Amino acid sequence: MIFTYTDKGVCAAKGFRAAGIHCGVRKNKTKKDLCLIVSDVKCSAAALYTSNLVKGAPITVTKQNLSDGKAQAIIVNSGNANTCNSDGIEVARQMCALVEKYTGIPASDVVVASTGVIGQKLSIEPIRNGMQTLVDGLGYNNSDDANEAIMTTDLKKKSVAVTFTLDGKECHIGGIAKGSGMIHPNLATMLVFITTDAAISSEMLEKALREDVKDTFNMTSIDGDTSTNDTLCVLANGLAGNREIIVEGEDFEIFKQALRAITEKMCRMIAADGEGATRMMEVRVSGAADEDSARKIAKSIACSSLVKTAVFGADANWGRVLCALGYSGAQVDVGAVGVDFISEKGEIAVCRDGSGVEFSEEKAKEILLEDSIIINVTLKDGSASAKAFGCDLTYDYVKINGDYRT
């Protein structure tokens, strides 16, 4: 299926309003720091969270609120992760209570998330003081404000939506995401919020999500650090009027394709906007013994500091690709490995049968200097394939993270 993309984000689907303001969690007044997304009606909801043992307090509260598979609003602050704070859960609950007070949506139907520095107390004051302005700002075409308010070191908004048809009805699905450091499987994102007007049960929504992330957010890495606050949440309000998806079948497959259309795009956006990144790197592995091996190899290459610095230098140092493949933990016939570098400038073979082949360094450089490059790895172990999304490792990554708190 071919999808047409728009940038309407969480407001592409009918009945979703969004807002984003600066309330004062951040000192910098030019940066928005509070986001609200609400649906006109109650939604089926599903979410996945970080696998990190150290979890942000908002995750505990969101899990409780989503235990019935229903939600109607999402509130998010940036600038403070509300993690490793003794009063974190209480503050996260207060955020939900404020949504109830100002919108009438029950606190137990609110998804709450925070992103920013770990281990600093989050004051509820600026959020409380900002609520009226936030609610006043809610609009049906306001996804960008919401997107800006969840950004931390992100340089670009990550907003995407597509239209599709279910049961003869026009449906929409769209989302906003923030990166851009502490990104690693599983779950390879800080925050992603997706809305759809398709009707689907929360069980099927969760099933769709779990299947999707295996090839998308769990295959994206910026720096190998799995965040404490990762939350991927989907709300489905059913306003498109299609017959509700409650079992597998054709409609479920179409829904999953639409979901994949936006999640894969978001992963590429997150990778391209990785902290300090100058170029996006996609690692494609084919001919692997099985899917698990293919994913392990693709991730290992995409996560290698040495591959990432070589990509920064546009250096065709394919030996590092083989090195990362070799320590991936997957069983591989090393003597059969092929490596090509691909970009809009063309493609070049650099390794065949596990050994180097003659190639033009000049041509390789030209290919690798593009904004977006593909490292294509071919194996002869089977027929499984996988893709991983990453970026280069640069001076700016070090700069951004050498003094993040100040």
Residues marked as catalytic:
189
Q: Is residue 349 near a copy of itself by the rule CB under 8 A? A: no
Sole binder of a copy of itself in the list 1, 54, 247, 369 (CB under 8 A): 54
The least distance separating a copy of itself from the CB of residue 285, rounded to whole angstroms, comes to 14
The least distance separating a copy of itself from the CB of residue 385, rounded to whole angstroms, comes to 19
CB 389 within 8 A of CB 302: yes
Which residues between 310 and 329 bind a copy of itself (CB under 8 A)? 310, 312-313, 315, 317-320, 322-327
Binding mask of the shown chain, residues 234 to 273, with x at each position contacting a copy of itself by CB under 8 A: ----------------------------------------
Helix (H) or strand (E) holding 212: helix 202-213
What are the structure tokens assigned to 25, written together? 């969690």
Based on CB atoms, which residue is closest to a copy of itself, 190 or 259?
190
CB 391 within 8 A of CB 280: yes
> Cα(355)–Cα(334) distance, rounded to whole angstroms?
9
Q: Beta strand pairing status for 231-236 and 191-196?
A: parallel
Largest CA-CA distance found in the chain, in angstroms, rounded: 68
> Cα(3)–Cα(262) distance, rounded to whole angstroms?
9
Helix (H) or strand (E) holding 113: strand 110-117
User: How many positions of this chain bind a copy of itself (CB under 8 A)?
Assistant: 64
Which residues between 61 and 120 bind a copy of itself (CB under 8 A)? 81, 83-86, 117-120
Q: Which region among 71-79, 201-209, 240-248, 298-306 touches a copy of itself (by CB under 8 A)?
A: 298-306
> Cα(196)–Cα(163) distance, rounded to whole angstroms?
10
Sole binder of a copy of itself in the list 129, 132, 141, 305 (CB under 8 A): 305
Q: Is residue 60 near a copy of itself by the rule CB under 8 A? A: no
What are the structure tokens assigned to 2, written together? 């071919």
CB 72 within 8 A of CB 107: no
Interface contacts to a copy of itself, rule CB under 8 A: 51-55, 81, 83-86, 117-121, 181-182, 184, 223-228, 303-306, 309-310, 312-313, 315, 317-320, 322-327, 331-332, 334, 351, 353-356, 393-395, 397-406
